[in-house]
């Protein structure tokens, strides 16, 4: 089994492979990154949850990118948050932006952040760009899927 780790502070991204690369696994703890992004953008608690979930999903997707590739995740939605954009690379570096950091909603019936209420319906776009940082840029690949729940974590799955 091959295992690699990267991370800053309390956060970590762990990748593992087995069976000659036939089995791949990864896990991420992004609490500090999500908290710092929420602080920098002055988000409501509900937007902080949405941004944190998007940062984590993008970091997991980007973990398998090649060295000079980058991945952009965009959530275009009709909810009060207006949209979320996150960019990441194979080194686990991630940054994000929300259109309306002050969007908020009351807690849901389970007493949890109601991310669905601020996201609403929309699309999840993933764009992969190769060679961008070293001048060997190729045409990007862009895929899209409709949001299935608006809870973001479920939409990545």
Domain ranges within the chain, ordered by starting residue: 45-156
Q: What is the pairing mode between strands 70-77 and 94-98?
A: unpaired
- What confidence tens digit (pLDDT) does each residue in 34-86 have? 999 999 999 999 999 999 999 999 999 988 777 778 899 999 999 999 999 99
Q: Can you give the pLDDT at residue 2?
A: 44
pLDDT above 90: percentage of residues in the chain: 62
The pLDDT confidence band at residue 4, using thresholds 50, 70 and 90, is very low
- What confidence tens digit (pLDDT) does each residue in 7-31 have? 556 788 888 889 988 998 888 899 9
The mean pLDDT of 93-106, rounded to a whole number, is 95
Q: Can you give the pLDDT at residue 8?
A: 52
CA 121 vs CA 20, 72, 87, 113, 117: distances in Å: 40, 20, 21, 17, 9
Asked if the model's pLDDT at residue 137 lies above 90, the reply is no
Residue among 38, 117, 110 at smallest CA distance from 81: 117
CA distance 26 to 24: 7
The answer to whether the pTM exceeds 0.75 is yes
The mean pLDDT of 107-117, rounded to a whole number, is 95
pLDDT above 70: percentage of residues in the chain: 90
Q: Which CATH number fits domain 45-156: 3.55.30.10, 3.90.1200.10, 3.20.20.70, 3.90.79.10?
A: 3.55.30.10
CA distance 114 to 119: 9
């Amino acid at each position: 089994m091959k295992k690699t780790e990267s991370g800053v502070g309390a956060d970590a991204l762990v990748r593992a492979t087995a069976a000659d690369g036939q089995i791949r696994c990864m896990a991420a703890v992004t609490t500090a990154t999500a908290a710092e992004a929420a602080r920098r953008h002055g988000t409501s608690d509900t937007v902080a949850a949405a941004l944190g979930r998007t940062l984590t999903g993008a970091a997991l997707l980007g973990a398998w990118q090649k060295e000079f590739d980058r991945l952009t995740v965009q959530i275009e939605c009709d909810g009060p948050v207006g949209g979320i954009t996150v960019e990441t690379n194979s080194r686990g570096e991630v940054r994000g932006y929300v259109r309306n950091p002050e969007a908020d909603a009351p807690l849901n019936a389970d007493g949890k952040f109601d991310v669905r209420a601020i996201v609403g319906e929309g699309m999840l776009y993933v764009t992969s760009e190769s060679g961008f940082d070293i001048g060997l840029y190729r045409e990007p690949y862009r895929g899209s899927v409709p949001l299935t729940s608006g809870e973001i974590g479920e939409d990545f799955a």
